Amino acid sequence: MLLRARAAISLSFFLTIAILSGCAPVGPNYQKPDIKTPDAWHEAISREMAKESDTSLQTWWKIFDDPALNHLIEQARQSNLDLKIALSGIAASRARLGIVSGRELPSANVVGSVSRFKHSDNGAFKQMAPPNGFDGQNMFAVGVDAIWEIDVFGRIRRQVEAAGAEYEASIEDYRDVLVTLFGEVALAYVEIRACQRRIQCAEANAVIQRKMLDLTRARYNSGIASKLDTAQAMSNLANTEAAIPPFRIRLNSIINRLAVMVNVNAETLHEKLGKPRPIPLARENIGIGVPADLLRQRPDIRMAEKQLAAQTALIGAATADLYPRFAISGFFGLETGSFSEMGGGSSLAWGIKSPIKWNFFSGGKTRSKIAFHKEIAQQDLFKYKDTVLKAIEEVKNAIVAHSQEKIRRNWLLAAVAATREAVDLVIVQYETGLTDFNNVLVTQKSLFNQQDELVSSQANVVLDLIRIYKALGGGWPIENEDNVSKKTLVSQSNTIQPQNHPF
């Protein structure tokens, strides 16, 4: 009866601890910050973007209908090294989550030992020593040693919660790399086409100016014009020719930078993109939704929110150190002095205990640790709010820039058309002796400068549009947010391989 009573008391004790482990963990529970955003974009901004569109924000680059750009984006998705680093980061965070989650389960070890020992004839067992002293003895032991920490105050649960939020933050970091990468690839591609167009304009102007140089020389040789006309024509041509090398230097550097982003041989990319093509134009605009959509779409905002959640959970984990830790440990195995008796029932050995550890005095270290995590969480909250505000600012600035650049482009189109007509007229007047060469020089310089500015403006209209889509967080499928998609992201880190695509 006494043994049964002791067993019942022990069982009740262990059951009580196990039940307590289901209690709510200590520390603050995470609540997503309430960030106020405008209900709608400013009317002037909304007019610039389509409210409805057939093209998804997640594949915004397809609005340009440019196969080369599409292939570059896909090549970057498969081969970019920053993206692979981010994928590896997801796998590492998931592995860490597995490590932390394992602490919720018992830890068991198979143990075994073989030893030989002899008691001292003059030691603690002196009175029990036989006449000839103790003999050496063998000891064989094998069994299972297990321990299970009962998470009464939620220390482990908070650690798991923090690791889970960090894992989700690593996924958002991967998505943020995607958004940035696709945007940078598109920006580089448009700049390449703009550089090529600027070179073409400069070369076309050089052809006209070279003809004017020949004309001034012929007029000078005929005694119709002075040598000043020839010198001015030569100066004008030389300045135009001198403008071409910087364009080629810029073109070379952009292609090389793009080669790094898509992880391909630079020479191959020079060959594929070397032939000039027009600056891509969007066939339509993509709906921007409402400002609150940024909180759902932009990965950097989502990552900042997950980091805040992780830090909040760490406050609870630190708070749990103020309370005792409970555990259940035990051993079940066989011990015998003779290996031949190892399987006998009399060799059975077992034990169970419930160790309790309470660091009731730590010189203020525990409370300082709690205060530390609270301050880090406060910093993360400020970072989250700052990220939201900067995201809204980025979208507004990009849309206004896009709108104003379109106005500038339209005026430059008119200016170029008028100046081109003026060049044709002034050349005729010069050939007929109705004007001097200075008017020809001024109008030709003006045409070259305006054409160059027009190309830059046409490119900036597209570049600003790309920056809008980048600021909106486009480039990843928001609908795939379940656990299956997360596991798929991790598996991609081991299977993703570079592929070559035609341009």
Amino acid at 65: D
Say how far apart CA 469 and CA 287 lie, in whole Å: 10
The residue type of 309 is A
Choose between 478 and 175: higher pLDDT.
175
**Which among 500, 492, 433, 495 has a CA at the least distance from the CA of 177?**
492
* Residue 126 forms part of a structural domain: no
Task: Please state, in angstroms and rounded to a whole number, the distance separating the CA atoms of residues 280 and 267.
Answer: 23
pLDDT of residue 339 exceeding 70: no
Residue 217: the pLDDT is 93
List strand residue ranges (DSSP E) for 255-395, in order.
325-336, 348-353, 356-357
Q: Answer yes or no: is 250 within a domain.
A: yes
* Interacting residues of 216 by C-beta distance below 8 A, sequence separation 6+: 225, 229, 230, 232, 233, 437
Model pLDDT for residues 255-310, shown as the tens digit of each residue: 999 999 999 999 999 999 989 999 999 877 667 777 777 778 889 999 999 999 99
Give domain status of residue 235, yes or no: yes
In a domain, 475, yes or no: yes
- CA–CA dist 257, 72 (Å, integer): 13
CA 491 to each of CA 118, 181, 304, 451: distance values in angstroms, whole numbers, following the listed order: 57, 20, 24, 50
Nearest to 474 by CA among 394, 383, 385: 394
DSSP 370-431: HHHHHHHHHHHHHHHHHHHHHHHHHHHHHHHHHHHHHHHHHHHHHHHHHHHHHHHHHHHHHH
- For 204-220, what is each residue's pLDDT tens digit? 999 999 999 999 999 88
Residue written as token pair 């997950």: 306
Question: What six digits make up the tokens of 353?
Answer: 């205990």
Angle at 31 (CA atoms; ends 27, 34), nearest 5 degrees: 145
CA 189 to chain centroid, in Å, comes to 21
The CATH number linked to 166 is 1.20.1600.10
Residue 124 lies in a domain: no
Instruction: Please name the amino acid found at residue 397.
Output: N
Give 487's strand partners.
none
pLDDT at 180: 94
Separation of alpha carbons 405 and 411, rounded Å: 10
Strand duo 325-336 + 356-357: pairing: antiparallel
CB count within 10 Å of CB 114 equals 10
Q: Is 345 left (phi over 0), alpha (psi -120 to 50) or beta?
A: alpha
Could you tell me the two tokens for 199? 């070179």
| Residues 6+ away with beta carbon under 8 Å from 348 | 333, 334
Among the listed residues 288, 287, 290, the one whose alpha carbon sits nearest the alpha carbon of residue 40: 290
Q: Any idea what the Cα angle at residue 45 is, between residues 43 and 46, rounded to 5°?
A: 65
Q: Which pLDDT tens digit goes with each residue over 40-65? A: 777 666 666 655 555 678 889 999 99
Structure tokens at 269: 């990319």
Of 124 and 201, more confident: 201
- Tally of domains in the chain: 1
Cα 111 to Cα 144: distance, rounded to the nearest angstrom: 6
Q: Give a yes or no: residue 238 inside a domain.
A: yes
Its sign, for the CA torsion 291, 294, 300, 303, is positive
CA angle 25, 28, 32 (to 5 degrees): 120
Residues 464-491 have pLDDT tens digits of 999 999 998 888 876 555 443 455 454 5
59 within a domain of the structure (yes/no):
yes
Q: Average pLDDT for residues 164-190, to the nearest whole number?
A: 95
Instruction: Tell me if 158 is assigned to some domain.
Output: yes
pLDDT score of 23 more than 70: yes
> Encoding tokens for residue 58?
């997640």
Residues 120 and 302: beta-carbon distance below 8 Å = no
| Cα 105 → chain centroid | 33
Do the beta carbons of residue 305 and residue 33 sit within 8 Å? yes
Question: Phi/psi at 111 (nearest 5 deg)?
Answer: -120, 150
Going 129 to 130 to 136 to 142, the CA torsion angle's sign is negative
Residue 296, domain extent: 39-105+154-327+371-495
Cα separation, 500 vs 503, in Å, equals 9
Q: Residue 106's pLDDT is what?
A: 86
* Stretch 142-165: mean pLDDT: 89
Is residue 332 very low, low, confident or very high in pLDDT (cuts 50, 70, 90)? confident
Residue-wise pLDDT for 90-124, tens only, equals: 999 999 999 999 888 888 888 888 887 777 767 77
Q: From the CB of residue 427, how many other CB atoms can be counted at a distance below 10 Å?
A: 19
Residue 133: Cβ within 10 Å count: 11
Query: To the nearest whole number, what is the mean pLDDT of the chain?
Result: 85
Please give the backbone phi and psi of residue 341, each rounded to the nearest 5 degrees, phi first. -95, 10
Distances, alpha carbon 256 to alpha carbons 72, 197, 264, 301, in Å: 13, 18, 10, 31
Query: What's the rounded Cα separation, in Å, for the pair 146 and 110?
Result: 9
Looking up tokens 């830090």, which residue turns up? 311
pLDDT at 361: 82
